[in-house]
Amino acid sequence: MDLGIRGRRAIVCAASKGLGRGCAEALAEAGVELVINARGAEALEATAAAIRERHGVAVAAVAGDVTTEAGRAALLAACPDPDILVTNAGGPPPGLWSDWSRDDFIRALDANKLTPIALMQATLPAMMERGWGRVVNITSQAVRAPIPALGLSNAARTGLTGFVAGTARQVAEKGVTINNLLPGIHDTARAEALDAGAAKAGGIAPADARRAREATIPARRYGAPAEFGAACAFLCSIHAGFIIGQNLLIDGGATNLTM
Ligand code: NAP
């Protein structure tokens, strides 16, 4: 299927690895020019070079922390008026509900709620003026069903979801769509770190921790960043203009819901 977005320009945040990279790769395959971001410059440059070589599109790399004002300003300076915005950042640390301080909450809200909101506020006006735009926010399955150890994520990301639900319906008449992708467990560095933590806590091997988590997923495996990226590219395509303010779970069936 031709996604109809060849030559469009996209900002993809937190994209040197994992799900952000999966989205960047899929958009590049569809012919989209990219500005990608991550904190670590070396891995980011390597990813940019690999995507350029594989897909033959322009890829600019802007190293910086997207959860800071300076990081976002650098990203927007490199691409002030993208046609496509994919927001993403690292997830907050796990813990117990009673342990988190106000500062912990502020950090999580900054990273997983206020950062995507600031990027949307900066880029939506030009998209609306041009009459076309696509925003995809990478959130989490925690938005549909809370993950007990990830209370900071549960709290911050549901706030973003509420903002998107209202805003998506205000910009849709200008040809701009905003949707959220809700990952379940995917095969990325974050999943590896969570497996390592579970293995340590349970006194088992990381491979056994992974097998135990895979057994909780109806698909009996972790998702692949490329599969996730393909869903993102579809939501950014010309075919997805009537999909507004939705929350798409990509979790191998792990969240036990009827709808
Ligand atoms: P990952 O494999 O650890 O990759 C994270 C990417 O984001 C890296 O490129 C990292 O590069 C970049 N990054 C992290 N913090 C950043 C920041 N403050 N500013 C700019 N770049 C940043 O993570 P992932 O698994 O793809 O997860 C992506 C998001 O999805 C996270 O919010 C995670 O909580 C959420 N999620 C993931 C899963 C899963 O199973 N993978 C499930 C549910 C939700 P640098 O470190 O160099 O900055």
pLDDT digits (tens, 9 = 90+) for 181-239: 999 999 999 899 889 988 999 999 999 999 999 999 999 999 999 999 999 999 999 99
Q: Provide, rounded to the nearest whole percent, the portion of the chain with pLDDT above 90.
A: 97
Which atom of ligand 1 is the closest one to the Cα of 189? 2
Give which of 99, 136, 161, 120 is closest to 23, Cα–Cα. 136
Task: Provide φ and ψ at 258, rounded to 5°.
Answer: -80, -40
- d(CA 174, ligand 1 centre) in Å: 31
User: Measuring from each residue's beta carbon to the nearest atom of ligand 1, which residues come in under 6 Å?
Assistant: 14-20, 37-40, 43, 65-67, 88-91, 138, 140-141, 183, 185-186, 188-191
pLDDT for 9-19, tens place per residue? 999 999 999 99
CA distance linking residue 235 with residue 108, whole number of Å:
26
Write down the pLDDT at residue 194: 85
Write down the pLDDT at residue 175: 98
pLDDT for 51-70, tens place per residue? 999 999 999 999 999 999 99
User: In the chain, which ranges are continuous DSSP H helix?
Assistant: 18-29, 41-55, 69-78, 102-109, 115-130, 151-171, 189-202, 206-214, 225-235
State which of 11, 12, 16, 19 you would mutate to test the pocket of ligand 1, scoring each by most atoms of that ligand within 8 A of its C-beta. Answer: 19
